[in-house]
């Protein structure tokens, strides 16, 4: 599931580069955010807040949820008629926001139905790892310990306790950045980030010189793919992103991710090589 999420930012970036109106892209972004927030709200109430909220009752009660959806649908219908008859822009934006809310509520229902319990818990422990410190929250807690214990210069290559004592699972794939931070410290972590920044900036420079729209779309999608992998993997290692099974390209163990990254950069170089061809 984590890898499939990469397609979402890639699609949004290519859509933006293709000239799709910003309000449509913003609509998709806010719908996705609303789906996640509303979808995990009942679990957040249960595990973190530990008290009942009237709004959550509406989400969980079938009849109240249908009434809410019907009310929002009626607002959409009336605002649509108002815009058609008067052409006033505030009717359009009322319809826009109402349809966004309706889509987000319906999407949150799909999130609660299709997401498995362990996937919901990953989002919950992202907010508060102490909810399940020896279960779902174990990985993030041990990752934060590894990152924090590295200090400025680290404990030394192959001298990390979190890795060699096997406290941190998936240390060669999902949490490879945590091991780098523990063994090479802040200096080593910053060097890794700088190297990725060079790749990304250089990639943007290469695709910006493309005279071919098709090459521009592919190149921008590839750069976003690499950027998303870096942000999510490093973010989950330091506790600012939910835990997903996304590797750190070029560094995490695994042949498929390495092949994908190398082929993608080869395509970007090919786009630059043919920048003067039409």
The last residue of one of the domains, among 81, 115, 149, is 115
- Please tell me the predicted confidence (pLDDT) of residue 186: 93
Model confidence pLDDT, tens digit, residues 84-132: 988 888 899 999 999 999 999 999 988 888 888 788 888 888 888 888 8
In this structure, the answer to whether residues 110 and 158 fall within a common structural domain is no
Residue 120 belongs to a domain: no
pTM above 0.75, yes or no: yes
The last residue of one of the domains, among 80, 115, 150, is 115
The total of structural domains in the chain comes to 2
| Max Cα-Cα span within the chain | 72
Residue 156 belongs to a domain: yes
Residue 124 belongs to a domain: no
In this structure, the answer to whether residues 86 and 172 fall within a common structural domain is no
Interacting residues of 104 by C-beta distance below 8 A, sequence separation 6+? 30, 31, 34, 35, 38
In this structure, the answer to whether residues 84 and 134 fall within a common structural domain is no
Encode 66-135 in three state secondary structure.
HHHHHHHHHHHHHHHHHHHHHCCHHHHHHHHHHHHHHHHHHHHHHHHHHCCHHHHHHHHHHHCHHHCCCC
pLDDT at 278 over 60: no
In this structure, the answer to whether residues 146 and 206 fall within a common structural domain is yes
The dihedral through the CA atoms of 177, 179, 180, 184 has a sign that is positive
In this structure, the answer to whether residues 178 and 45 fall within a common structural domain is no
Residue ranges making up the domain that contains 66: 4-115
Strand ranges for 148-276 from DSSP E: none
User: 161-193 burial string, b = 16+ CB within 10 Å, else e?
Assistant: ebbeeebbebbebbbbbbbbbbbbbeebbeebe
In this structure, the answer to whether residues 160 and 216 fall within a common structural domain is yes
Q: In the numeric block, which tokens belong to residue 201?
A: 């900036």
Model confidence pLDDT, tens digit, residues 27-79: 999 999 999 999 888 888 888 888 888 888 888 888 999 999 999 999 999 99
In this structure, the answer to whether residues 189 and 61 fall within a common structural domain is no
In this structure, the answer to whether residues 144 and 258 fall within a common structural domain is yes
Annotate 253-275 with DSSP letters as a single string.
S-HHHHHHHHHHHHHHHHHHHTT
Interacting residues of 118 by C-beta distance below 8 A, sequence separation 6+? 136
Annotate 22-47 with DSSP letters as a single string.
HHHHHHHHHHHHHHHHHHHHHHHIII
In this structure, the answer to whether residues 88 and 208 fall within a common structural domain is no
The last residue of one of the domains, among 58, 84, 115, is 115
- Answer yes or no: are the C-beta atoms of 251 and 193 closer than 8 Å: no
Model confidence pLDDT, tens digit, residues 67-93: 999 999 999 999 999 999 888 888 999
In this structure, the answer to whether residues 26 and 70 fall within a common structural domain is yes
């Amino acid at each position: 599931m984590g890898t499939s999420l990469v397609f979402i930012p890639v699609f949004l970036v290519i859509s933006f580069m293709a000239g799709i109106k910003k309000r449509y892209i913003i609509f998709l972004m806010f719908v996705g955010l609303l789906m996640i927030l509303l979808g995990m709200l009942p679990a957040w109430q249960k595990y973190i807040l530990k008290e009942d909220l009237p709004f959550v009752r509406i989400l969980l009660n079938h009849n109240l949820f249908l009434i809410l959806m019907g009310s929002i649908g009626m607002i959409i219908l009336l605002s649509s008629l108002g815009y058609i008859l008067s052409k006033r822009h505030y009717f359009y934006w009322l319809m826009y926001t109402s349809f966004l809310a309706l889509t987000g509520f319906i999407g949150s229902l799909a999130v609660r139905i299709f997401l498995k319990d362990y996937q919901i818990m990953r989002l919950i422990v992202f907010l508060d790892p102490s909810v399940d410190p020896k279960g779902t929250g174990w990985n993030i807690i041990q990752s934060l310990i590894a990152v924090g214990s590295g200090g400025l210069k680290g404990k030394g290559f192959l001298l990390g306790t979190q890795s060699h004592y096997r406290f941190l699972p998936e240390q060669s794939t999902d949490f490879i950045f945590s091991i780098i931070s523990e063994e090479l410290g802040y200096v080593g972590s910053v060097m890794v980030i700088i190297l990725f920044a060079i790749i990304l900036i250089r990639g943007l420079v290469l695709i910006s010189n493309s005279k071919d729209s098709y090459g521009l779309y592919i190149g921008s999608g590839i750069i976003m793919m690499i950027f998303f992998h870096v942000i999510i993997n490093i973010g989950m290692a330091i506790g600012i992103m939910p835990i997903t099974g996304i590797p750190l390209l070029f560094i995490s163990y695994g042949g498929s991710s390495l092949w994908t990254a190398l082929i993608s950069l080869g395509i970007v170089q090919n786009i630059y090589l043919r920048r003067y061809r039409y």
